[in-house]
Amino acid sequence: MSKLKEGDRAPDFVARTSDGSEFRLSDFRGKSGLVLFFYPKDGTRICTAEACAFRDSYQKFQEAGFEVVGISSDSNGSHLEFAAEHRLSFPLLADEDGALRRLFGVPKLLGLLPGRVTYVINREGIVCRIFSAAFASDEHVQQALNAISLILGG
């Protein structure tokens, strides 16, 4: 597992969203920035708080020209229920086999649990910010918004 660093080009991938549509990272290049947040599990206290914090700030991300995408090892069925229950307006991707975590170099928490890492990727596909904090749900949103502000020159 290679560790992705700030300044690296984000690796391209294709995955299915919880609604069954295809998500391709390269489709966003030149059009929109991305905030990818990897989280451990649907429905847990901190993961729910994090997803809801992204939901509550989603309009700010959209206005800045960034799409938000959540990724966990849960199934798309679990994601559908989680998104409906919490009115999440951004896509969730299932990484059941851990391939996306490996591709991005997301470390495990205590060597066992899936890590919580947020990647801010600019329109050119370059990773501008990587933030990892296992127990700080709201901080991921604030770090992403701060990085976007810097990207946009503000």
Convert the pLDDT of each residue in 113-136 to its tens digit: 788 999 999 999 999 999 998 888
| SS3 label, residue 127 | strand
Higher pLDDT residue, 24 or 110? Answer: 24
89: domain CATH number is 3.40.30.10
Question: Is residue 2 assigned to a domain?
Answer: no
- Read off the pLDDT band of 1 (50, 70, 90): very low
Question: Is residue 8 assigned to a domain?
Answer: no
The number of folded domains in the chain is: 1
CA 115 to chain centre: 12
Question: Is residue 65 assigned to a domain?
Answer: yes
Q: Which residue has the tokens 């992705």?
A: 4
Are 35 and 62 in contact by the 8 Å Cβ rule? The answer is no
Residue 52 a catalytic site member: no
Convert the pLDDT of each residue in 75-90 to its tens digit: 999 999 999 999 999 9
- Which DSSP symbol is given to 120? E
The residue count for the chain: 154
Question: Is residue 146 assigned to a domain?
Answer: yes
Q: Which residue is catalytic, options 4, 34, 36, 47?
A: 47
E strands in 13-65: 14-16, 22-24, 33-38
Residue-range definition of the domain harbouring residue 144: 14-151
Calpha distance 129→141 (Å, rounded): 12
Question: Is residue 135 assigned to a domain?
Answer: yes
| Mean pLDDT (the chain, rounded) | 93
